[in-house]
Amino acid sequence: MNTDTGEKLHRGSCHCGNVQFEVSVNALHGSRCNCRICTKLGVLSANVKPSAFRLLTDESKLASYSRFPEIANRYFCSNCHTLCFGKGDIPEVGGAFVSVNLNTLDDIDPAQVAVVYWDGRHDNWQAGPRAEPWPIN
């Protein structure tokens, strides 16, 4: 646990419990993206280095999806289809990462998460996060 950054070890799982994992993350800070998939799935995410994430179940219990597989993949439970995490490697944002869906962590209240917003709908993620939500149009 890294107390300087507020990180602590959390357990996460899909809805049916088929996929389980551990992640060291500050779960009080997350982000929402307005791209099509994040909006439709209601994702609340936090990115961590791969060393901070550990899958506790066999990878055969996962299904994956990616619109751009050379950048990132999203991983779902093959049984209940809960989006649990994504993995990617984007040099502009620091290289390899795991993006954990904070909604799948067992011991947090998503209503307590401070949220920043990314404009993925307009491929404007390189502009950086914003504290306020994007305008509705």
Region 78-105: what's the mean pLDDT?
Answer: 91
Rounded CA-CA distance 102/113 in Å is 9
- 31 CB-near residues (< 8 Å, 6+ apart): 44, 45, 46, 115, 116, 117, 118, 129
Q: What is the pLDDT of residues 45-70, one digit of tens each?
A: 999 999 999 999 999 999 999 877 77
Distance of CA 39 to the CA centre of its chain: 13
> Which domains are present in the chain?
8-120 (2.170.150.70)
pTM: 0.84
Q: What is the arrangement of strands in the sheet containing 8-13, beginning at the earlier edge strand?
A: 8-13, 20-25, 53-55
